């Protein structure tokens, strides 16, 4: 959430940067409320000055005199008007946050202006795309060939966009989770967290899923199933004032994730790319503002390490204003090569939210001068597990339909080949 004072004082900048995101937002109601709020404050302050003058004037009057009684009645009317103005201000101020919650974050000045993913830019690439020497199968065909991916039965049990992982696929998925967690905790210094998989509306609001993206969420009773571990892990520090933040807090969590994918009809309906339920290892950081952009680069490198160890070709893309997520100030996408599609597909999104989430979730720390200020929050997938499985099946497939397991994973899987 943006700071109201900043929005009011730099409205033209906020409007311009919001439009650069290809977001249509009607600022008129917010402007009207802010003007009404300021008017109520001005009227109240004027009234208080009048009350003080009237109160001082009473000291010179004789109690019980007509002038005294008249002025006392006037003061009572002023007090009633003051209460009415305070109530008016309270009502106005309660109406402002729901509007602020719907304004996207402002992109960092280094983010290029663009309309869509076509305007994203290549930061770097890694790994050689080696021709397979045969027509590649996609992961669905590979999985069905070996009886390790069962979409048909999952459809009967749960509906579209679910899958049973069986045998070696189930073991491979579990191995990837452990492999990622071990690298991030043992080598990169993240604290491992296993959070709740259901959270309340306040937590979803804190990280920006509510109110804008409610249609993408699964809800049960008064709780929401998490779309990503970012939500509970970031909210671990909700309504917290850290007495100091001498260095960045780094956390990693494996969780199942649940998404309706309400706006993705017809997209990636085949296979594991876009499921309602999927596994992910998430990296979350809470950083001092002056360190957050260095920490973003480190977070990207931490996620890239997994792809490098698995010998998967990938590229890092910087997102333009028209493709960046609602709450992010700057974002990089990691995209892995998929031979069956002859293209790169997203496998991680790494973002710096600056104070956008921290202001919503009230995550603060005391700086070196003792002043409380909002922290910066960051997160990124390290990695999306199902998409990593897809990339392994496709990149390491052989002409006979078998799949070679990357060397780094073999101590985890206990086998070096599928099929």
User: Which of 48, 68, 100 is a domain's end point?
Assistant: 100
Does 133 share its domain with 224?
Answer: yes
Domain count, the chain: 2
Under the banding of pLDDT at 50, 70 and 90, the label for residue 319 is: very high
CATH label of the domain that carries residue 52: 1.10.287
Question: For position 263, what pLDDT does the model report?
Answer: 61
Summarize pLDDT for 361-388 with one digit per residue, the tens. Answer: 999 999 999 999 999 999 999 999 999 9
User: Which of 72, 100, 128 is a domain's end point?
Assistant: 100
Question: For position 266, what pLDDT does the model report?
Answer: 62
End-to-end Cα spacing for the chain? 51
Does 61 share its domain with 183?
Answer: no
Mean pLDDT, residues 230-246 taken together = 96
Please check whether residue 112 lies inside any domain of the structure: no
Of the residues 21, 259, 359, 364, only one is catalytic, namely 259
Question: For position 84, what pLDDT does the model report?
Answer: 96
Does 131 share its domain with 258?
Answer: yes
Measured CA to CA, the distance from residue 354 to residue 108 in angstroms comes to 9
Higher-pLDDT residue of 317 and 269 is 317
User: Which of 100, 131, 162 is a domain's end point?
Assistant: 100
Q: Quick check: 54 pLDDT over 80? A: yes
Of the residues 292, 348, 349, 381, only one is catalytic, namely 349
Please check whether residue 158 lies inside any domain of the structure: yes
Please check whether residue 105 lies inside any domain of the structure: no
Of the residues 81, 102, 166, 274, only one is catalytic, namely 274
Does 90 share its domain with 184?
Answer: no
Does 122 share its domain with 20?
Answer: no
Of the residues 295, 335, 387, 394, only one is catalytic, namely 387
Question: CA 48, 50, 52, 55: dihedral to nearest 10 degrees?
Answer: -130
Of the residues 39, 346, 402, 410, only one is catalytic, namely 346
Question: For position 127, what pLDDT does the model report?
Answer: 97
Measured CA to CA, the distance from residue 174 to residue 374 in angstroms comes to 37
Domain span at residue 166?
117-418
Please check whether residue 109 lies inside any domain of the structure: no
What is the SS3 assignment for 157?
helix
Does 37 share its domain with 77?
Answer: yes
Please check whether residue 376 lies inside any domain of the structure: yes
What is the gyration radius of the CA atoms in the chain, in angstroms? 28
Please check whether residue 107 lies inside any domain of the structure: no
Question: For position 59, what pLDDT does the model report?
Answer: 85
In the sheet with 277-287, reading across from the earlier edge strand, the strands are: 121-126, 314-318, 330-338, 343-352, 376-384, 277-287, 249-258, 191-193
Under the banding of pLDDT at 50, 70 and 90, the label for residue 35 is: very high
Of 74, 52, 47, 71, which Cα lies nearest the Cα of 61? 71
DSSP structural state of residue 308: H
Of 29, 49, 25, which Cα lies nearest the Cα of 37? 29
Mean pLDDT, residues 321-343 taken together = 98
Summarize pLDDT for 285-311 with one digit per residue, the tens. Answer: 999 999 999 999 999 999 999 999 999
CATH label of the domain that carries residue 189: 3.30.930.10
> How many C-beta atoms surround the C-beta of residue 64 within 10 A?
7
Measured CA to CA, the distance from residue 360 to residue 332 in angstroms comes to 23
Q: Quick check: 264 pLDDT over 90? A: no
Q: Quick check: 345 pLDDT over 70? A: yes
Under the banding of pLDDT at 50, 70 and 90, the label for residue 269 is: confident
Does 185 share its domain with 287?
Answer: yes
Q: Percent of the chain having pLDDT more than 90?
A: 94
Question: For position 268, what pLDDT does the model report?
Answer: 76
Question: For position 60, what pLDDT does the model report?
Answer: 86
Does 128 share its domain with 273?
Answer: yes
Please check whether residue 111 lies inside any domain of the structure: no
Give the Cα-Cα-Cα angle 15, 104, 263 (nearest 5 degrees): 120
Does 124 share its domain with 215?
Answer: yes
Question: For position 246, what pLDDT does the model report?
Answer: 85
Please check whether residue 96 lies inside any domain of the structure: yes
Q: Quick check: 64 pLDDT over 90? A: no
Does 201 share its domain with 57?
Answer: no
Known active-site residue 387: yes
User: For the chain, how many residues are written?
Assistant: 419
Mean pLDDT for all residues in the chain? 96
Does 77 share its domain with 210?
Answer: no
Does 154 share its domain with 64?
Answer: no
């Amino acid at each position: 959430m943006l700071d109201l004072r900043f929005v009011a004082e730099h409205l033209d900048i906020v409007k311009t940067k919001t439009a650069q995101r290809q977001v249509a937002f009607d600022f008129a109601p917010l402007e009207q409320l802010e003007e009404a709020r300021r008017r109520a404050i001005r009227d109240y302050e004027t009234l208080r000055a009048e009350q003080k003058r009237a109160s001082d004037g009473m000291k010179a009057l004789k109690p019980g005199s007509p002038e005294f009684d008249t002025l006392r009645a006037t003061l009572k009317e002023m007090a009633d008007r003051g209460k009415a103005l305070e109530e008016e201000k309270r009502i106005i101020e309660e109406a402002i946050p729901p509007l602020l919650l719907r304004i996207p974050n402002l992109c960092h000045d280094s983010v290029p202006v663009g309309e869509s993913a076509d305007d994203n830019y290549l930061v770097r690439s890694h790994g050689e795309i080696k021709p397979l020497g045969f027509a590649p199968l996609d992961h669905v065909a590979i999985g069905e060939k070996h009886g390790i991916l069962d979409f048909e039965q999952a459809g009967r049990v749960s509906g579209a966009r679910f899958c049973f992982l069986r045998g070696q696929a189930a073991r491979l998925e579990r191995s990837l989770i452990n492999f990622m967690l071990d690298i991030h905790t043992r080598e990169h210094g993240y604290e491992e967290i296993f959070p709740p998989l259901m959270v309340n509306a306040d937590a979803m609001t804190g990280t920006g899923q509510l109110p804008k993206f409610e249609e993408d969420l699964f809800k049960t009773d008064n709780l929401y199933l998490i779309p990503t571990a970012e939500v509970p892990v970031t909210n671990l520090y909700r309504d917290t004032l850290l007495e100091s933040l001498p260095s960045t807090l780094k956390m990693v969590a494996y969780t199942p994730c649940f998404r309706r994918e309400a706006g993705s009809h017809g997209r990636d309906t085949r296979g594991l790319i876009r499921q309602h339920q999927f596994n992910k290892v998430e990296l979350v950081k809470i950083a001092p503002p002056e360190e957050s952009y260095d920490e973003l680069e480190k977070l990207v490198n931490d996620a890239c390490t997994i792809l490098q160890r698995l010998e998967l070709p990938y590229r890092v893309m910087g997102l333009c204003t028209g493709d960046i997520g609602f709450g992010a100030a700057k974002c990089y996408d990691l995209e892995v090569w998929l031979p069956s599609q002859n293209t790169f597909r997203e496998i991680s999104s790494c973002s710096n939210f600056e104070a956008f989430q921290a202001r919503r979730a009230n995550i603060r720390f005391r700086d070196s001068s003792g002043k409380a200020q909002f922290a910066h929050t960051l997160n990124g997938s390290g990695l999306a597990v199902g998409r990593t499985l897809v990339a392994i099946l496709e990149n390491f497939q052989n002409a006979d339909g078998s799949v070679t397991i990357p060397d780094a994973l073999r101590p985890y899987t206990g086998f070096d080949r599928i099929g």
